[in-house]
Amino acid sequence: MSGAHHGYRFAGFTLDLERQALFRDGEEIPLRPKAFEVLKLLAGRSGTLVTKDEFMDTVWADTVVTDGSLTQCLAEIRRALGDDRREMIRTVPRRGVIFELPVVEEKGDGLPAPVNPVAPLPDPSSAAGPAVSRRVFLLAVLTGLGLLLWWILPERPGDSATKAPAPVMTSRDNRIAVLPFADMSASGEESWFGDGMAEEIINLLAVSSSLEVISRTSSFAFKDRPDLTVREIAETLNVAHVVEGSVRWADDRLRVTAQLIDTSDSTHLWSKTYDRQVADLFAVQTEIAVAVASALAAALEDTEIRLAGAGPIDPRAHERYLQGRFLYHRRAPGDVPRAIQRFQEATAIQPDYAAAWASLVGAYRIMIIQEGRDRAEMLPLMREAGKRAEAADPDNAEVQLRLAALAMEEGDVESARCRFQRALALEPGHPLILETQAGQALAELDIEQALVYQRKAAALDPLSPLVRGNFAQFLVLAGRYEEARVRALEVIDLSPGRADSMNLVRVNALLLQGRSDLALALLNETEPDSQAEFARSKAIALHDTGHVEKARALVADLSAEASNETLIQRIEYAAHTGDKDTAYRLLQSATARAREARQAGETPWWARRARSSPFLRSLYGDPRWDDWMDATDLWGSIECPRADPL
């Protein structure tokens, strides 16, 4: 910015008020116009509190918008500044926001003047990127059954953050989190080993019906946060106890230190150091889990049986397996193919390594979903890996869940459901299993029971945007509109990249509340994540606010596309706006399509959302609705063998 421009300078950034742009080192950092205006107001009021009303009066003076508009702008600005730790822009709960950086204003004459000087913070060039950490992401639990209403939406890296949403459970006495074990190796490059140690302890503790064990996704979200205390982490995860530790691996020797902490007063309930051979790794993991459970008076009676069923693991194979899981969850460019190579090396060393084979099923599936590989190429590889995994350990819940995901890919509904039932019997407390239970309850139109499962899953994985996003959608289906909107905003705060999909959740809640003016304002700030759903929502909002011709024009555009998805959206519009004749006519067409698909041996997955859509409630009780429900009942006739856990 030349000296003649009016603007603000702070921490290496320049906010040019004439060019309406943010710069750093001469390069422009993109900001949407409203985000620029928010940053302009904050910079001009540096060091002082800016209230929500002041933002609304200044940035959105002539527009009706929701609180989420400000939330999105603040998230965008934080990303632009690298303010991952929320030190530059600090939110004061229920009051407003403070811009904590010292700011110098440059007027048109180029003469600098301080704006409300405050104590300086470190330059964001050092704070923006994550520090090299000894705690790194790791998990081999399947991606396969993640999104409940639509079954398959893999959670992507970077979706989790460590700002705590409101807890969905209040009791915490039996809740425990296991943090990634710190890497104390000489090279500092063996973090995958400590991650693997923590994850196995999580899996062992999860056997106990007396404990609620926080999912790896949420526990591992703190891997780059050495600034947080154990007590702060516990408050975020809503747990009473935390397990943490460290590992040092040199040659064939292993030193593991572990401690169990009561987070109410930071006292150590138990701690121990193990000096063993690397070959004793699995015994050490079990000893730690049993000791923790004993300290908490929780039984782990199934642990030894579970480990015995898997058989002994070659440490060389386990090393490659842990490396593969690290790569699988990091998902940097090229990581998934490298993960596949590590899993293949593990199975070459030990051909009956069930966990490595199961992880291959998941990695091959990611190659289809995220890497664009041909399904015809990947499915045979998935089948072979799944077959080998089940032969090695049929009583492994993850193996059964991976095979359920494979069955879904192949359209085999019966196998998918029965394998899920098997996994449920083996590990009923796993968050993804709870989510899939919620999906099944929803398919059976037991929305209240679905919400019970989904709420518990969110409590066990409180920092997962995917799980909490599903929870927000279930709240809409259950008619809990206000809570749904709050939860959707929490997801946006956790993962700004999900703002558009969560805005549609908020829009649907507003439409069903009869607040279409606010829904329309929110739609005007949202990029279409799903074109058909976006068009349907906007058409309903326009209709309800008196813009009927514009609404009909949008529906006409939907009618031009003959897909099953757009057919459902048209039925929802007609039913919700009172045009039952059109709704029933379209519903009969959808019913015929579903029956034709089933007669052809295909599964009409597209129909499931409409079975529980709150926009179709006016159609309930009519024989044509009953025909629709019969044609799209994907589960009712399936009888599975009894799924005994062992």
Question: What is the reported pLDDT for 25?
Answer: 80
Q: Are residues 268 and 172 in the same domain?
A: yes
**d(C-alpha 10, C-alpha 105), whole Å:** 9
Out of 155-169, 351-365, 417-431, give the one with best mean pLDDT. 351-365
Q: Return the minimum-mean-pLDDT range out of 12-16, 262-266, 424-428, 630-634.
A: 424-428
pLDDT (mean) for 85-107: 80
The dihedral built from the CA positions of residue 188, 190, 192 and 193, taken in this order, carries a sign that is negative
Which of 310, 326, 341 is the last residue before a domain boundary?
310
pLDDT (mean) for 142-165: 35
1 domain-assigned? no
Question: What is the reported pLDDT for 64?
Answer: 60
Per-residue HEC secondary structure of 273-310 comes to: EEEEEHHHHHHHHHHHHHHHHHHCCCCCCCHHHHHHHH
360 domain-assigned? yes
Closest by alpha carbon to 589, among 616, 562, 608?
A: 562
Question: What is the reported pLDDT for 288?
Answer: 77
DSSP summary character for residue 267: E
Give CA 263 to chain center in angstroms: 26
Q: What is the mean pLDDT of the chain?
A: 77
Closest by alpha carbon to 257, among 219, 306, 291?
A: 291
Question: What is the reported pLDDT for 607?
Answer: 82
Q: Are residues 113 and 239 in the same domain?
A: no
Question: What is the reported pLDDT for 264?
Answer: 83
Q: Are residues 12 and 89 in the same domain?
A: yes
Q: Is the separation of the CB atoms in 80 and 29 below 8 Å?
A: yes
pLDDT greater at residue 234 or residue 357? 357
Neighbours of 330 (CB within 10 A): 16
Question: What is the reported pLDDT for 237?
Answer: 87
DSSP summary character for residue 108: T
Q: Is the separation of the CB atoms in 166 and 486 below 8 Å?
A: yes
Question: What is the reported pLDDT for 187?
Answer: 65
Write out pLDDT tens, residues 30-79. Answer: 888 888 999 999 999 888 889 888 888 888 776 665 566 787 788 789 88
Q: How many domains does the chain have?
A: 4
pLDDT (mean) for 419-445: 78
**Residue 254 corresponds to which amino acid?**
L
pLDDT (mean) for 495-504: 84
541: pLDDT confidence band, cut at 50, 70 and 90?
very high
Provide the residue count of the chain.
646
Q: Is residue 3 scored above 60 in pLDDT?
A: no
DSSP structure string for 180-246: PPEE-SSSS--HHHHHHHHHHHHHHHTT-TT-EEPPHHHHGGGTT-TTS-HHHHHHHHT-SEEEEEE
**d(C-alpha 297, C-alpha 305), whole Å:** 20
Residue found by looking up tokens 């909490």 in the block:
468
Say what percent of the chain tops pLDDT 90: 21
Q: Is the separation of the CB atoms in 138 and 180 below 8 Å?
A: yes
Write out pLDDT tens, residues 457-489. Answer: 888 888 878 788 888 998 998 899 999 998 898
Q: Look up the CATH number of the domain holding residue 210.
A: 3.40.50.10070
Question: What is the reported pLDDT for 126?
Answer: 32
pLDDT (mean) for 245-261: 81
Q: Are residues 287 and 359 in the same domain?
A: no
224: pLDDT confidence band, cut at 50, 70 and 90?
low
DSSP summary character for residue 32: -
189: pLDDT confidence band, cut at 50, 70 and 90?
low
410 domain-assigned? no
Question: What is the reported pLDDT for 65?
Answer: 57
Q: Are residues 285 and 333 in the same domain?
A: no
pLDDT greater at residue 1 or residue 255? 255
Q: Are residues 180 and 297 in the same domain?
A: yes
Question: What is the reported pLDDT for 387?
Answer: 94
Q: Is residue 270 scored above 70 in pLDDT?
A: yes
Say what percent of the chain tops pLDDT 70: 79
Q: Are residues 100 and 139 in the same domain?
A: no
**d(C-alpha 202, C-alpha 194), whole Å:** 12
Q: Is the separation of the CB atoms in 340 and 357 below 8 Å?
A: no
392 token code pair: 């090695």
Beta bridge partners of 277: 253
Question: What is the reported pLDDT for 129?
Answer: 32
Closest by alpha carbon to 77, among 86, 68, 67?
A: 86
Residue found by looking up tokens 């064939």 in the block:
252
Q: Are residues 92 and 175 in the same domain?
A: no
Per-residue HEC secondary structure of 333-402 comes to: CCHHHHHHHHHHHHHHHCCCCHHHHHHHHHHHHHHHHCCCCCHHHHHHHHHHHHHHHHHHCCCCHHHHHH
568: pLDDT confidence band, cut at 50, 70 and 90?
very high
Pairing of the two strands 96-99 and 112-115: unpaired
DSSP summary character for residue 559: H
Out of 14-18, 200-204, 383-387, 433-437, give the one with best mean pLDDT. 383-387
294 token code pair: 């004993």
pLDDT (mean) for 399-404: 88
Q: Are residues 298 and 326 in the same domain?
A: no
Q: Are residues 305 and 315 in the same domain?
A: no
Q: List Cβ neighbours of 315 (8 Å cut-off, separation of 6 or more).
A: 278, 279, 281
Which of 347, 364, 393 is the last residue before a domain boundary?
393
Write out pLDDT tens, residues 51-61. Answer: 888 888 888 77
Pairing of the two strands 21-24 and 27-29: antiparallel
Q: Are residues 349 and 368 in the same domain?
A: yes
Q: Residue 99: give the domain boundaries.
A: 7-127
Q: Look up the CATH number of the domain holding residue 388.
A: 1.25.40.10
Closest by alpha carbon to 297, among 203, 201, 209?
A: 209
258 token code pair: 């572990």
399 domain-assigned? no
**d(C-alpha 506, C-alpha 82), whole Å:** 27
pLDDT greater at residue 169 or residue 104? 104
Type and span of the H or E element at 414: helix 413-426
Closest by alpha carbon to 135, among 228, 213, 206?
A: 228
Q: Are residues 142 and 271 in the same domain?
A: yes
pLDDT greater at residue 360 or residue 432? 360
Tell the burial category of 86 from Cβ atoms under 10 Å away from its Cβ (0-12, 13-18, 19+).
middle
pLDDT (mean) for 9-13: 88
Type and span of the H or E element at 125: helix 124-127
577 domain-assigned? yes
pLDDT greater at residue 307 or residue 463? 463
Type and span of the H or E element at 98: strand 96-99
pLDDT (mean) for 570-583: 94
Q: Is residue 173 scored above 60 in pLDDT?
A: yes
Q: Is residue 324 scored above 80 in pLDDT?
A: yes
Half-sphere exposure of residue 532: CA atoms within 13 angstroms, side-chain side? 16
pLDDT (mean) for 526-534: 76
383 domain-assigned? yes
Give CA 149 to chain center in angstroms: 14
Question: What is the reported pLDDT for 356?
Answer: 92
522 domain-assigned? no
Which of 393, 416, 441 is the last residue before a domain boundary?
393
DSSP summary character for residue 633: -
Cα-Cα-Cα-Cα torsion 11, 17, 20, 21, nearest 10 degrees, comes to: -20
**d(C-alpha 399, C-alpha 408), whole Å:** 14
Half-sphere exposure of residue 454: CA atoms within 13 angstroms, side-chain side? 30
Closest by alpha carbon to 460, among 202, 243, 212?
A: 212
Q: List Cβ neighbours of 167 (8 Å cut-off, separation of 6 or more).
A: 238, 459, 462
Neighbours of 633 (CB within 10 A): 16
589: pLDDT confidence band, cut at 50, 70 and 90?
very high
pLDDT greater at residue 148 or residue 106? 106
Type and span of the H or E element at 51: strand 49-51
Q: How far is CA 143 from CA 140, 153, 321, 433, in A?
A: 9, 8, 17, 11
429 domain-assigned? no
